[in-house]
Every structure is written in C-alpha cells, then in structure tokens.
Amino acid sequence: MELVKNGEQMMSKQVIVDYIPFEVSPQQINESINENNGKLVVKGVLQRAEAKNQNGRVYPKETLMREAKKYQEIQIRERRALGELDHPDSSVVNLNNVSHNVMEMHFEGNDLVGTVEVLGTPAGNILKELFKSGIKLGISSRGLGSVKEMNEDDTVEVQPDFELIAFDFVSNPSTHGAFLSPTNEGKLNEGVGTRDGVCCHDCKVENIINDIFRGE
C-alpha cells in the first residue's frame, strides 16, 4: 500500500515478521540447564542482512545495524528485550505471553547473533519443556516498517523506516528451515502423537502443554 504526501509517494508501515534458522546443539541445551541451575540460555542467529530470505525480503545491513544498536542500548540494557511464544502479529509485546529475554546481540559478518534467556513465566516454562522434549521450534524477528519492490525476481527491500520490536519463538513456522532443534534427529519422533494414523507434531506439543498445566 502506498500513501501520497506533497506529491511524493510514501510507503505505509506494517508489521514485518521474518524467520531465520536458529541452530542449537543438544549439548548446548543440556550444558545450559546444568550450569545455570535449571535455567535455559541459547545462542544463535537472530536475523541476517543483505540476503534474500524465504519471504523474498532483504534487510539492508545499515538498517539492521541501526536497529540492533538501538535495541542493545535501550531494551537489552534495561533488561526488557522481551519476546513472545508463537505467532504474535501486534506491534506491541504482550506481557501475558512473554517467554524469553534477549541478553545480548552482535554482528558476525552479516549475521545478527544473539543470546536468549528462557524465562520462568508460564509461556517460558512451556518453551523450556518444548525444547527439552525435542519439539522443533523456530525464531522470528518482528518489526514495524515498509518494503519496496526491487527490480529482480520478486525481491522486496525493507526500507529505512523499519523499527525492530522483538524476537519471538514459534511452534509452526511458515518458512521452511526456520527451526531450532535441541535434540538429535533419532529422538525427535519418539513419543510423537498420531492423528488418523499419521505422525503429528501438533499432538506432541498439545500433550506437553497439557502436562505442564496438570503439574506433571
């Protein structure tokens, strides 16, 4: 959608959500829990600059660096770099659904790498148990801004008005490959439920959440 002001075209802002692989080894999961008195802390790539993602969007490094610096200086420094569990579509973080806090982030080349602490909130406890049970989880960046079509293969560029809001963990990413898998592949399918005789990822998620609510 485009707006016009003083004869010039202006792009309208929208919530922009993009997924990126966030790879963590089983060893990192186990060591973190053991070394942090049961607390889970993970580290991985949060977003990537100057590369077309599977949603067809490109984040200019200058824009992403600016927003990462602002996020580091305000949200992270004040310990309020909070994120939610699953697919929020709001430009505001819902405290009732907060599951984790970003502790630090920095660039390694074009990769924005961060350290994330899973919190002891209801949503955080669900997130931790999902990790421990081998559920594949994705991570997504959430921001507010506009995009502009480029002159090549349906690629769109995130514009300089982009504002970073949060990083969220998701249980069912719409982008292939945007998963964080804390256990080895040989164990991923153990205990997975079935629906109509078919192995069902959602069934296992539902069972884990129900167990948490029952206190099991």
Q: Is residue 196 part of a domain?
A: no
Report the DSSP beta bridge partners of residue 113: 45, 106
Q: Indicate the number of domains in the chain.
A: 1
Q: Which of 129, 97, 98, 99 is nearest to 213 (CA)?
A: 129
Q: Which two tokens stand for residue 175?
A: 């982008």
Is 0.85 surpassed by the pTM of this model? no
C-beta of residue 204 within 8 angstroms of C-beta of residue 192 = yes
pLDDT digits 0-9 by tens, 134-176: 677 788 999 999 999 987 678 999 999 999 999 999 865 544 4
Q: Is residue 203 part of a domain?
A: no
Q: Which of 144, 161, 167, 158 is nearest to 50 (CA)?
A: 158
Q: How would DSSP label each residue in 91-114?
A: SS--GGGEEEEEEEEEEETTEEEE
pLDDT digits 0-9 by tens, 52-64: 988 899 999 999 9
Q: Is residue 145 part of a domain?
A: yes
Q: Is residue 174 part of a domain?
A: yes
Q: Which domain holds residue 65?
A: 12-188
